[in-house]
């Protein structure tokens, strides 16, 4: 990492109460860029909207950034603390005749647009009315009539928009509150931001951003990189209603932060050697904004789950136990988890699956479907009877129990997997779980025998 750098980027979430996976991707790509180039990674909460200026709408966002270990430099900047900067910028724009006051309501603008044939956006009605400030009057930025506004995006190359197609947009609401567009530009300038790395949904804002930047005389503009949109399986933009979009939900669903972070890095980007699952330090080394693909990226929960399984398998057993402990119910389940950790790690793809691998410690789990499936076989009664004798082994170890089990299968002339089912369901209530013999060792001889007997009686009283 370069020691000194004048580069600065920022993640600028709006307080929505949760961290959207798309926002998390923006945060991550800013962080990767910063760690890769030595840039500072700043964090700014865009809470100009006074209704959103409530800590509880920001807490989860910061918590999830911490959970993902996306550490930022310096203190969090809150736009709600910086009103005077925005007022000064607006005053400067007003003084330089870049603005005008407007008292149109949304309905009035819409009605005029409809009458004129349906062109959306503001029609410039108040441009030359010479209104002064007053209640109910917003401040609009007067965009140029001719020429075009262009920029080179690191991910999308050259982007150009005719100024005639950029409406005179509001920079201060009639309530006096500065708008996102204005505050965003003022803060990027005052914070010395050199790289604006953000979602594609802001691509349309960038020409307005640049017009404001120039009108405010801020000098050289930042470099832009607009990240790809995230889409679901139907190639539709992720939506809160249809899709699981909150990072916190993935945490609750038992995903590991390292796996989540690794997966998010693969949305629109991939390492040149194609090795996708790898330590974050390597991703930092390989990451280049220029290599990000602008096409929409499929947020594939199956692939995320697969990667999560890999990360779970790679954990040291005690680390796995510590993390999975939060998801299991009590000390008995935790003891089983500790005893069988490597075997569970092999199988669980998320931490929320872990309880089903240990909850049989309290007694066979009540699952009628599992029971019917395993016990409908004619072999079930014979397997249970046979096991009761066969498991009378000298030493209660997985090896001896396994040998006894193979003998039993031979004696019953049955394939071993056909008798695994009834025995497993008799003892745990479940058709899947850790290897049977390790389960039996954990339960101990007496408890195993008691459960076999109970199951046998239940089968034919």
Question: What Å distances lie between residue 26 and 128, 195, 239, 383, 406, CA to CA?
Answer: 40, 12, 17, 57, 55
19-48: contacts with ligand GLU (CB under 6 A): 46
For ligand GLU, the closer CB: 29 or 405: 29
- Could you give the CA distance from residue 338 to residue 164 in angstroms, rounded to a whole number? 67
15 sits near ligand GLU (criterion: CB under 6 A): no
Whether residue 240 lies in the annotated active site: yes
- Of the candidate spans 10-18, 213-221, 227-235, 250-258, the one that interacts with ligand GLU by CB under 6 A turns out to be 10-18
What are the backbone angles phi and psi of residue 375, rounded to the nearest 5°?
-95, -5
For Zn ion, the closer CB: 94 or 356: 94
Q: Which of 104, 265, 374, 419 binds Zn ion (CB under 5 A)?
A: 104
For ligand GLU, the closer CB: 40 or 345: 40
- Adjacent-strand bridge partners of 38: none
Shortest Cβ 126–Zn ion spacing (Å): 3
Query: What DSSP string describes 149-198?
Result: EEEEETTTEEEEEEGGGS---EEE-TTSPBPHHHHHHHHHHHTT--EEEE
The closest residue (CB) to ligand GLU is: 198
12 sits near ligand GLU (criterion: CB under 6 A): yes
- Of the candidate spans 7-15, 154-162, 269-277, 350-358, the one that interacts with ligand GLU by CB under 6 A turns out to be 7-15
126-165: contacts with Zn ion (CB under 5 A): 126
* DSSP code for 237: B
What are the backbone angles phi and psi of residue 301, rounded to the nearest 5°?
-65, -30
57-76: contacts with ligand GLU (CB under 6 A): none
Assigned token pair, 170: 């509001």
13 sits near ligand GLU (criterion: CB under 6 A): yes
171 sits near Zn ion (criterion: CB under 5 A): no
- Could you give the CA distance from residue 387 to residue 422 in angstroms, rounded to a whole number? 10
Can you state the angle between helices 180-190 and 206-215, rounded to 10 degrees? 60
Shortest Cβ 25–ligand GLU spacing (Å): 12
208-237: contacts with ligand GLU (CB under 6 A): none
Decide which of Zn ion, ligand GLU, none touches 46; Cβ closer than 5 to 8 Å per partner kind. Answer: ligand GLU
- Report the DSSP pairing between strands 223-227 and 40-45: unpaired
198 sits near ligand GLU (criterion: CB under 6 A): yes
On whether the CB atoms of residues 248 and 62 are closer than 8 A, the answer is no
Residues near Zn ion, by CB under 5 A: 102, 104, 125-126
Residues assigned a catalytic role = 240
Residues that bind ligand GLU (CB under 6 A): 12-14, 46, 184, 196, 198, 202
């Amino acid at each position: 990492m370069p020691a000194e750098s004048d580069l600065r980027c920022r993640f600028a979430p709006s307080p929505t109460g949760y961290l959207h996976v798309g926002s998390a991707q923006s945060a991550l790509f800013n962080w990767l860029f910063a760690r890769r180039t030595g840039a500072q990674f700043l964090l700014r909460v865009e809470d100009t909207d006074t209704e959103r200026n409530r800590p509880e709408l920001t807490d989860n966002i910061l918590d999830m950034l911490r959970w993902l270990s996306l550490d930022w430099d310096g203190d969090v900047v809150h736009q709600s603390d910086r009103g005077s900067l925005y007022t000064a910028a607006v005053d400067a724009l007003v003084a330089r005749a870049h603005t005008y006051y407007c008292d149109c309501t949304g309905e009035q603008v819409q009605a005029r647009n409809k009458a004129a044939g349906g062109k959306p956006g503001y029609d410039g009605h108040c441009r030359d009315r010479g209104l002064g400030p007053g209640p109910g009057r917003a401040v609009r930025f007067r965009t140029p009539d001719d020429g075009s506004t262009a920029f080179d995006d690191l991910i999308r190359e050259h982007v150009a928009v005719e100024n005639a197609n950029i409406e005179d947009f509001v920079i201060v609401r009639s309530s006096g509150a500065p708008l996102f567009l204005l505050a965003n530009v003022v803060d990027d300038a005052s914070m010395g931001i050199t790289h604006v790395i953000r979602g594609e949904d802001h691509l349309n804002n960038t020409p307005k951003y640049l017009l404001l930047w120039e009108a405010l005389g801020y000098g050289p503009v930042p470099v832009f990189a607009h990240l790809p949109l995230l889409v679901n399986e139907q190639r539709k933009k992720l939506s809160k209603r249809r899709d699981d979009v909150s990072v916190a939900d993935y945490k609750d669903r038992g995903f590991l932060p390292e796996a989540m972070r690794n997966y998010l890095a693969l949305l629109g980007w991939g390492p040149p050697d194609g090795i996708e699952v790898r330590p974050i330090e390597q991703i930092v080394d390989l990451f280049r904004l220029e290599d990000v693909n602008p096409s929409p990226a499929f947020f594939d929960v199956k692939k995320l789950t697969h990667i999560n399984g890999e990360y779970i398998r790679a954990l040291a057993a005690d680390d796995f136990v510590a993390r999975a402990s939060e998801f299991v119910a009590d000390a008995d389940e935790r003891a089983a988890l500790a005893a069988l950790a490597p075997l569970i790690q092999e199988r669980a793809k998320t931490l929320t699956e872990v309880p089903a691998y240990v909850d049989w410690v309290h007694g066979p789990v009540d699952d009628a479907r599992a029971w019917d499936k395993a016990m409908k076989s004619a072999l079930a009664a014979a397997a249970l009877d046979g096991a009761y004798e066969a498991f009378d082994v000298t030493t209660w170890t997985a090896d001896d129990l396994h040998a006894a089990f193979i003998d039993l299968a031979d004696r019953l002339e049955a394939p071993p997997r056909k008798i695994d089912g009834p025995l497993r369901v008799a003892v745990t209530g479940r058709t899947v779980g850790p290897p049977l013999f390790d389960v039996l060792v954990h339960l101990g001889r007496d408890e195993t025998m008691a459960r076999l007997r109970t199951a046998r009686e239940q089968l034919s009283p």
